[in-house]
Amino acid sequence: GAGVSQSPSNKVTEKGKDVELRCDPISGHTALYWYRQSLGQGLEFLIYFQGNSAPDKSGLPSDRFSAERTGGSVSTLTIQRTQQEDSAVYLCASSFRDSGAKNIQYFGAGTRLSVL
């Protein structure tokens, strides 16, 4: 596709369940980022991938959160044993490369996660 694609667009789950969120970056983009947008916290960085490696995982809030990227393309963010405070919109972004003067991140529409 032409843009960053995220699925599902909405996810409702019960507390304690595991969830997987998927991100398809723009073809050819080597850098991929996950952010979380929640009420009261704004938009927060979670993790950054360059290719399949994650040089910066500093934003992951706990060890219940993990992410992987395979083939330098699709990324999956996994939340184990979900808690109500995990409810938020999870946004994925990609850019052609991380370095460079005009690195622009292109964002997907996000996955709205609701933990009941």
**Contact residues: other proteins, CB under 8 A:** 4, 31, 33, 35, 42-45, 48, 55-56, 58-59, 91, 93, 95, 98-99, 101-110
Which residue is listed with tokens 């919109």?
Answer: 89
Q: Which is nearer to other proteins, 14 or 53 (CB)?
A: 53
Shortest Å distance, C-beta 68 to other proteins: 18
CB of 106 to other proteins, least distance (A): 7
Q: Which is nearer to other proteins, 31 or 79 (CB)?
A: 31
Shortest distance, CB of residue 50 to other proteins, whole angstroms?
8
* Tokens standing for residue 60: 């992951």
Measured between its terminal Cα atoms, the distance across the chain in Å is 33
DSSP 101: T
Alpha helices of the chain — where are they, by DSSP H?
A: none
CA distances from 115 to 26, 57, 66 (A): 29, 23, 17
